[in-house]
Amino acid sequence: MAQLRAAGLWPTPRRIATLSVHTSPLEQPGTGDAGGMNVYIVEVSKRLAAWGVEVEIFTRATSSDLPPVVEMAPGVHVRHITAGPFEGLSKEELPSQLCAFTNGVLRAEAAHPPGYYDLIHSHYWMSGQVGWLARERWGVPHVHTAHTLAKVKNRLIATGDRPEPKARVIGEEQVITESDRLVANTRFEAQDLVTCYDADPTKLSVVQPGVDLGRFRPSSGDPATAQAADRRRLGLPERGHLVAFVGRIQPLKGPDVLIRALAADPLRETDLTVVICGGPSGSGLDRPTSLIELAASLGVSDKVRFLPPQTGEALAALYRAADLVAVPSHNESFGLVAVEAQACGTPVVAAAVGGLVMAVTDEVSGVLVNGHDPADWARVLDDLLRSPARRARLSLGAVQHAANFSWDRTADGLLRVYREAVSEHRALIAARLAGSYSW
């Protein structure tokens, strides 16, 4: 192995089967079950394909109108697998359909000559369960990325949120044990995999997610003029301060912390608008109007604006329109929104949890807040809004910090993991054939 690595002879996989059971890369991030993981799969797949590695993404069909296969980009195809009813099936109910989904995945592979896929990369624990079986049937290595971990989420659960079920914990333990390689978004996630799940450290690789630095960038020209133009484009107030929250509306993401902070001193008397951009998701679906009701009960409805999930340039415009972007999550494996906002030159105020402590550099690209006390958040936000010089300094640091992240770098890191996994797998097969390895 060392000789192969030194000689640069790690084999590059020709075709990868990417598994994303519960959410499709074709869905709009920011609502339902679509979030940063969707962006991750889309951006990495496009770059791998551009480098000559074909990617086929298997996801569950959620409509009878969906074609069996969609070309998402040259060299990237999305396969819709029928598993359970097309609509009305929550993520919590999906484990009951894993057998049907696995059957669809295996049938797709059976239609091709043996060895069609060189490697499986599963995302989230349910996909990992499918990848575990496909690995045994196809005789190829299985790489898994958890994205979120039940034990960690339950340890940091938001008030009023539902804990992750025992079935998920067991499922994650199985997948983590059986996978050939594990990819963590940050070193903190890697530590959680080892300490909470007894993951084998020799199977672990840290590959940080990236950001589209071509799309998410600072405005050109005079910052104040450009910010006013972005606010007009989105129909937001041009005067006064603006703090934005971008993400799925659920207790885990903590948008209620921001609204409660808005009603606390000293923010209550500040000329400030809080923009909540996203749609209900997870346990937030139980009360989709909860934030509207909360703002009304606190008397700050006139200071809160709600926007549906934004895409492309509109999302970048929202980041640039804001004086600050707030990420008050109770847990994040990385924090893609934080990096996107910083790439646009907007400082981020984030909870000091999980991957956010890497996504945001405290007092360099933003400010990290310990805990979720609305009074603490109000003080931090007010201090920043009252100090344009400090925000300007953090804005420069935000752009510089975000430049350390790119999807090209992420794809390159994954490709190294893939090459090592394929080489190790082939070495095991060769050893078995030679009779020198006991299975």
Annotated binding site: 22, 28-29, 33-38, 91, 124, 148, 168, 248, 253, 310, 319-320, 322, 332, 340, 346
Q: Which residues are annotated as a binding site for 1D-myo-inositol 3-phosphate?
A: 22, 33-38, 91, 124, 148, 168
Within its chain, how far is the Cα of 412 from the centroid? 18
Q: Are strands 366-369 and 204-206 parallel, antiparallel or unpaired?
A: unpaired
Please, is 272 exposed, middle or buried when counting C-beta atoms within 10 Å of its C-beta (0-12, 13-18, 19+)? buried
C-alpha span between 389 and 392 (Å, rounded): 5
Token readout for 114 is: 């043996």
Kindly give the residue spans of alpha helices, DSSP state H, lying in 19-97: 36-50
Cβ within 8 Å of residue 112, ≥6 positions away: none
Q: Which residues are annotated as a binding site for UDP-N-acetyl-alpha-D-glucosamine?
A: 28-29, 36, 248, 253, 310, 332, 340
Q: Which residues are annotated as a binding site for Mg(2+)?
A: 319-320, 322, 346
C-alpha span between 258 and 247 (Å, rounded): 13
Residue 181, classed as helix, strand or coil, is strand
Residue 265, classed as helix, strand or coil, is coil
C-alpha span between 353 and 157 (Å, rounded): 12
Give, as one character, the DSSP assignment of residue 288: T
